[in-house]
Amino acid sequence: MSLRLFSVLGLISLLSLPMVSGRTWINSSGQPIKGSFIDLSSGVVKIRLDDTNKVVSVPLKVLSKADQEFVGKRAMTGKADLVALAVKRIDAAIDAGLEKKNLKYNEGLNDHMYLRRVYLDIAGRIPDYDEAKEFLNSRKKNKRQELVIKLLKSWDYASHNYNHLAELLRIQTTFPGTILRNDAFIHWLKEQIDTNTPWDELVREIVMAEGRIWDNPAVGYHLRDNGMKLDHVAFMGKVFLGTDITCAQCHDDPDGEWTQYQYYEFSAYLADLETKGKAQQAKMPKKKDLEAYIATSQKLDPGNEEQKRRINNIVGNYQRALRDMSRASELRVHTVANRSMRLPDNYQYEDGFPRDKVEPWILFGKEKGSTAAALNPRQRLAAWLTSPKNERFAMNIANRMWARYMGRGAAEPIHNIDPEKSLNADLLKVLAEEMVSLNFDLKAFAWAIVNTKAYNRLATRKEVNITDPYYFPGPLLRRMTSEQVWDSLITLMVEDPNQFKLDSGKRYNQLINSSQSAGAPKDFVARVDEFNKFKPEQSLVNAAGVSILKAKPPKGEKPFGQTALSKKPTGPTDEEMMMAFMEAARKRKLLLARASELPQPSDPAHFLSKFGQSDRTFVINASSLKGSVPQVMELMNGYATEILTQPGSRIFLEMKNLRSNFEKADVAFISILSRRAVGSEQHLLDRELRSGGPEVFSDLIWALLNTPEFLFIK
């Protein structure tokens, strides 16, 4: 019995699990509880209950063996040794590379640099003023380690890593060409990241998923490419295997690597995958009842010829609306038995005739015959794809993560790795091996990366071109991603950048799900009306479920400013200022939430698009870190800058109650650049703060935002 078979068995049991966000846990006395895993510390597991959303603590040892194993894979506790080993091996690989070329590591990082870097890399945003102060003022010896652990456990991590995954999987808020929203999948994916579902499990789950979006959110992955299966296969190769077979879709790869026949063989694993089916029957109340209800509720007289026509019209509108809604149920992932892949009509090579049947065959490696026999093609694909023996699967994700933290992959291009051509072949190998040793635990892998010597060095000062060899004496200088810039601005604007999150799409799915009974005419009409009036912003809610369009700042609290003493009898309170600030944002249609929670892809006129967010149609070069005039305009005069430089933004409230202008300037520097003013900056402040008027702080904030230091991670 090989390891392979074991994982395949695990896969089968996974299939039979009901697909809900939580999990059914069994304690030692056999009691089941439903909920999702949050954290393990000191032998106690925290679980969020599905029905009440309450968090309960359960000692690890009372849980079933399967549950303990489940927790073990996700929790960071107990992994320190494995992580340390990984760090050691990665360091050794880089040491060797540098030594061979007679190169040295870059200079180290001071606390300010370290703080900013790990926040941006793990949390996806700059630290806020309090977070920065806490770290900078701490005298604890292991404060860097503590910070990393804290960030890896934070929801910020989920938000940030979601952005990367969303770019890879080209996730859009609405499935292309339909009205169906994808909120459920987006929400589910963030939960998987938050609770640290191992990468191999996550990929298996999305590849295997079946059903409609409201039955099983994981189907969002296949539904994304509804109607374009062959493209879907090419994306799969790039995203999960770092293998680009795109060209072979239409012709043999001119470089001789992949033939069109191979492309079709690989695609054959998905031959029986279907993403569209019949719409569910839209259930309407009886027409007679609906007419009667409309007549009463709209005060129309069915006896009157003209009013009768009006009633008919209205009923007709509801019928049409429901039909449109029910078309969303066409999107369903299912398996059509015995359907096979065939070569295209214009097939031109000698190894097959047009319309020939093609049997599934993997791109490389081995697929075990004995296990394969028991499974359907998609199950076989998932098993082979995510197997620890499939080198490229581990190599791909390890290399991608390395590239994110270091500015370049151990092998490039990351979508099409050629290990033999990599200058850092040993490093690549070690990264892939450690990914497997850590059981595809991405948090643990991130933990390892940030502890390597290379990561803890200043970005390389010299310009490095994409074609130059690089041996990782430190990370490359990176411009923040579009999402990092936006999330950092949000951090400067509001008290809690994570306050508003996209909900699970439950309400939306309830409205659109056409399998439900029609209900009484009144309920039916109410449901269709609510659907028609549904605004995407309704799904962007705070913890109390209040939409960002309606939410008010917390009452009676003084989250900023210091004490009652500092509250002046005249002038607006913090609360009033925040309220005015939120109003100002609403007026400008600025949703003050993190990029991961906003419509995807963002509107082309949105800040995020201008800074190069992926438009979620392709993978290679989908996002851009290049500068442009519209970006500069955004930072100079855009709405975000405009309201950020207004009283009521978080950074202003932080400054408001401080007496000295120099303390205020300190807040601005630490909030925006995570450091204090130095040298000539001090001189400028000395001069301007003494003579400057009240707008000097707006100017200061503006100027700090409009420096490259804000945009780049050094």
Partner 1 sequence: MKDSINKLTELDRRNFLTGAAASTLGVSILPGIAGAAESQVITPASHATAKNVIFLYMSGGMTHVDTFDPKTTSGISGPSQPVSTNADGVQISNLLPELAKQADKFAVVRSMTTRTGDHGGGNYLMHTGFARRPGVSHPQIGSWAQYFLGRRSKLVPDSVVVGGGNPGPGFFRPDHSPLPIGDPNRGIKDLLPKINKTQFERRLKYAETFRESFAKGFPHDEVKSYADFYEETVKLFDSKTTELFDINKEPASVKTLYGNSRFARGLLLARRLVQNDVRYVEVQLGGWDGQHGNAGTAANRTNAMDAPIAALLQDLSSQGMLDDTMVVLTTEFGRTPKINGRGGRDHFPKAFSIMMAGGGVQGGKVIGKTDAAASNIETESYEPKDLHTTVAYALGLPVEKRIHAMGGRPFFVGNRGKVIKEAFGSA
DSSP per position, 501-547? EE--SHHHHHHH-TTS----HHHHHHHHHHHHH--GGGGEE-TT--B
344 binds partner 1 (CB under 8 A): no
686 binds partner 1 (CB under 8 A): no
> Given the structure tokens 């990366």, which residue do they identify?
449
Torsion from C-alpha of 306, 307, 309, 311, nearest 10 degrees: 180
618 binds partner 1 (CB under 8 A): yes
Torsion from C-alpha of 354, 360, 366, 372, nearest 10 degrees: -160
The answer to whether residues 382 and 208 touch, using CB atoms and an 8 Å cutoff, is yes
- 312, containing H or E segment: helix 305-326
684 binds partner 1 (CB under 8 A): yes
Among 604, 663, 686, 690, binds partner 1 (CB under 8 A): 604
Would you give the end-to-end CA distance of the chain in angstroms?
Answer: 50
Q: CB of residue 107 vs partner 1: minimum separation in angstroms?
A: 11
Residues 6+ apart with CB under 8 A from 552: 579, 582
Q: Alpha-carbon distance 196 to 38, whole Å? A: 9
Among 57, 532, 573, 706, binds partner 1 (CB under 8 A): 706
Q: CB of residue 425 vs partner 1: minimum separation in angstroms?
A: 22
Q: Which of residues 356-375 bind partner 1 (CB under 8 A)?
A: none
Among 84, 99, 636, 686, binds partner 1 (CB under 8 A): 636
* CA distances, 443 to each of 79, 86, 198, 391 (Å): 10, 13, 9, 20
Among 64, 138, 513, 609, binds partner 1 (CB under 8 A): 609
Among 494, 612, 651, 670, binds partner 1 (CB under 8 A): 612
Among 24, 316, 633, 663, binds partner 1 (CB under 8 A): 633
| Residue 602 C-alpha from the chain's centroid | 14
Q: Alpha-carbon distance 106 to 114, whole Å? A: 14
88 or 714, CB closer to partner 1?
A: 714
The answer to whether residues 402 and 410 touch, using CB atoms and an 8 Å cutoff, is yes
Q: Alpha-carbon distance 227 to 423, whole Å? A: 40
313 binds partner 1 (CB under 8 A): no
317 binds partner 1 (CB under 8 A): no
Using the rule CB under 8 A, give the single segment among 33-41, 193-201, 319-327, 619-627 that binds partner 1: 619-627
Residues 6+ apart with CB under 8 A from 558: 564, 567, 574, 575
Q: Which of residues 245-264 bind partner 1 (CB under 8 A)?
A: 246
Q: CB of residue 67 vs partner 1: minimum separation in angstroms?
A: 40
The answer to whether residues 652 and 628 touch, using CB atoms and an 8 Å cutoff, is no
Q: Alpha-carbon distance 649 to 491, whole Å? A: 10
Task: Provide the token pair at 110.
Answer: 């001071």
Q: Alpha-carbon distance 611 to 597, whole Å? A: 17
Size of the site for partner 1 (CB under 8 A): 59
Q: CB of residue 225 vs partner 1: minimum separation in angstroms?
A: 7
Interaction pattern, residues 403-422, with partner 1; x per rule: CB under 8 A: ----------x-xx------
The answer to whether residues 332 and 275 touch, using CB atoms and an 8 Å cutoff, is yes
Q: CB of residue 283 vs partner 1: minimum separation in angstroms?
A: 28
Q: Alpha-carbon distance 539 to 537, whole Å? A: 5
190 or 408, CB closer to partner 1?
A: 408
Q: CB of residue 463 vs partner 1: minimum separation in angstroms?
A: 5
Question: Crossing angle of helices 679-691/661-673, nearest 10°?
Answer: 130
Q: Alpha-carbon distance 344 to 353, whole Å? A: 9
Using the rule CB under 8 A, give the single segment among 145-153, 258-266, 330-338, 633-641 that binds partner 1: 633-641
Q: CB of residue 702 vs partner 1: minimum separation in angstroms?
A: 5
Q: Which of residues 464-503 bind partner 1 (CB under 8 A)?
A: 477, 479
Q: CB of residue 268 vs partner 1: minimum separation in angstroms?
A: 21
181 binds partner 1 (CB under 8 A): no
Q: CB of residue 695 vs partner 1: minimum separation in angstroms?
A: 6
Interaction pattern, residues 424-463, with partner 1; x per rule: CB under 8 A: -----------------------------------x-x-x
Among 198, 110, 94, 184, which Cα is nearest to 431's?
94
369 or 679, CB closer to partner 1?
A: 679
707 binds partner 1 (CB under 8 A): yes
Among 136, 630, 658, 661, binds partner 1 (CB under 8 A): 630
Among 257, 330, 530, 615, binds partner 1 (CB under 8 A): 615
The values of phi and psi at residue 484, to 5°, are -65, -40
Q: Alpha-carbon distance 556 to 135, whole Å? A: 29
147 or 273, CB closer to partner 1?
A: 273
Question: Crossing angle of helices 521-533/305-326, nearest 10°?
Answer: 60
Using the rule CB under 8 A, give the single segment among 140-148, 491-499, 576-584, 635-643 that binds partner 1: 635-643
Task: Tally the residues of the chain.
Answer: 714
| Residue 137 C-alpha from the chain's centroid | 32
714 binds partner 1 (CB under 8 A): yes
Among 170, 185, 53, which Cα is nearest to 509's?
185
8 or 685, CB closer to partner 1?
A: 685
148 or 644, CB closer to partner 1?
A: 644
246 or 484, CB closer to partner 1?
A: 246
Using the rule CB under 8 A, give the single segment among 511-519, 537-545, 560-568, 678-686 that binds partner 1: 678-686
Q: CB of residue 271 vs partner 1: minimum separation in angstroms?
A: 20
Among 189, 295, 619, 653, binds partner 1 (CB under 8 A): 619
Residues at the interface with partner 1 (CB under 8 A) = 170, 225, 228, 231, 234-235, 244, 246, 413, 415-416, 459, 461, 463, 477, 479, 604-605, 609-610, 612, 615, 617-621, 624-633, 636-637, 642, 678-681, 684, 688, 695, 699-700, 702-704, 706-709, 711-712, 714
